[in-house]
Amino acid sequence: MKIFCDIHGYPPSHNAGAEWMLHHMLKWLKSRGHEIIVSCPDPRAKEFEGIKIVDRFGPTHQRNYYNWSDIVVSHLDYTGKVINKIRAANRPACFIMHNTHHNTMIDMIAHRSILCFNSKYTASVPYYKHKESTIVYPPCPVEYYKTKRGGGRYITLVNHAQKKGSDVFHEMAKRLPDFEFLGVKGGYFHQNKERIPNVTYRENTPNIKKSYQVTKVILMPSSYESFGRVAIEGYASGIPCVAAPTEGLIESLGDAGIFVDLWDLDGWEDAINKLMTDKDYYQEMQAKARARAAELEGMLNKQMEDLTNLMQRAIEHKTTEGRVA
């Protein structure tokens, strides 16, 4: 297949969970012989880890890439724009669905579009029952994210925005002044900072492993998560995660998750304190984290093969909507 990705941002310029999910999916597809071109505004590089990237506003018109492609991939902010372009180019599309928020543009389209959901929870929404779809958990290859740890000391929040739990993060830093906390800037949302002596902040980066290398515990006190990629990235190194029980996090973390209700601040404090001071408990949760990372990675090939087959059917006009009478 010739796959053209028309999107709003891509690593290493734009680093967030959805973009890294797509990147690892594209690397899997490229390793199976498929041709990939990614288009986004103002890319930092022309190639990233084997994936070709072009500037949306470069000399080659977008129409040429649509005509080159067999299928177009997009998600999030660019879904509506791509819907109009695939109609004009008569190309099928695969839209990656990262949340349960209703996208009315997808409701209206009657073209050869398929959907790829990032979790069973996301796929459970009632809006798109007329679409053919599949589920691919965000790929977090263990060897890619695994770090050589020995100096892990930080209690880390990746994306210190309010919706990701910055209030809980800062409150825990105040309650537990003997421990060090690390806030890593996210790829979206306003980032909240407080001047607290035991809190360090780092910039957004395509090399998140540097932060995991010095992390002992990950926090995910999010008000909403459809999956929870950060925790699984950390699990590759056996880093336990204390998380709010969103439906996505419950699904992704499984038995390895340590769940605390979002505003049970005493519960958060107790959970963190136990991980930081009880060596036997920490090692138990470390083992569970590594096992869960390996379990999810073991699902990837089957999920990506299902997606590849569905994409091929869309190209051949064999999906339900695209079938020629």
Q: How far apart are CA 120 and CA 125, in angstroms?
A: 9
Distance separating alpha carbons of residues 251 and 243, to the nearest angstrom: 12
Q: Residues 155, 181: contact at Cβ < 8 Å? A: yes
Across residues 292-311, what is the average pLDDT?
A: 98
Please report, for residues 217, 239, 249, 272, the alpha-carbon distance to residue 286 in angstroms, rounded to integers and kept in the order given.
Answer: 10, 6, 17, 14
Q: Which CATH class is domain 2-140+298-315?
A: alpha beta
**Rg for the chain (alpha carbons), in Å?**
20
Q: Looking at residue 325, what is its pLDDT?
A: 33
Rounded mean pLDDT, 215-243: 97
Same fold: 2-140+298-315 with 142-297: yes
| Distance, CA of 267 to CA of 221 (rounded, Å) | 12
- For residue 281, pLDDT over 50 is answered with yes
Strands (DSSP E) contained in 164-269 are 180-184, 199-202, 215-220, 241-243, 258-259
Six token digits for residue 3: 């796959």
Who wins on pLDDT, 110 or 86? 86
| Domain map (residue ranges) of the chain | 2-140+298-315, 142-297
308 pLDDT more than 60: yes
Whether the per-residue pLDDT at 242 is higher than 70: the answer is yes
The one-character DSSP state at 72 is: E
Q: Average of pLDDT values for 116-124?
A: 96
User: Which one is predicted more confidently, 149 or 65?
Assistant: 65
pLDDT in tens, 50-76: 999 999 999 899 999 999 999 999 999
Please give the mean pLDDT across all residues of the chain: 93
3-state secondary structure of 291: helix
The closest of 84, 57, 55, 61 to 72, measured between CA atoms, is 84
Give me the long-range contacts of 40-44 (CB less than 8 A, separation at least 24): 40/7, 40/8, 40/9, 40/10, 40/13, 40/14, 41/8, 41/9, 42/13, 43/10, 43/13, 44/12, 44/13
CATH class, domain 142-297, is alpha beta
Rounded to the nearest angstrom, the gap between the alpha carbon of residue 302 and the centroid of all alpha carbons in its chain is: 19
Torsion of CA 227, 233, 237, 242, to 10 degrees: -40
So what's the pLDDT on residue 133?
Answer: 94
What pLDDT does residue 324 have?
42
Tens digits of residue pLDDT in 194-212:
999 999 999 989 889 999 9
Q: Is the pLDDT of residue 270 over 60?
A: yes
Amino acid (one-letter) located at 307: L
The pLDDT of residue 206:
87
- Reply yes or no on whether the pLDDT at 289 is more than 50: yes
Q: What is the pTM for the complete model shown?
A: 0.94
- Express each pLDDT in 93-118 by its tens digit: 999 999 999 888 787 665 678 999 99
Q: Is residue 122 within 8 Å of 147, Cβ to Cβ? A: no
Strand partners, 309: none
pLDDT at 207: 87
Side-chain-facing half-sphere of 165: CA atoms under 13 Å: 29
User: Dihedral of the CA atoms 93, 99, 102, 107 (nearest 10)?
Assistant: 20
The one-letter code for the residue type at 215 is T
- Torsion sign (Cα): 215, 216, 221, 224: positive
Integer Cα distance of 230 and 100 in angstroms: 19
Report which of 110, 113, 40 is spatially closest to residue 78, judged by C-alpha positions.
40
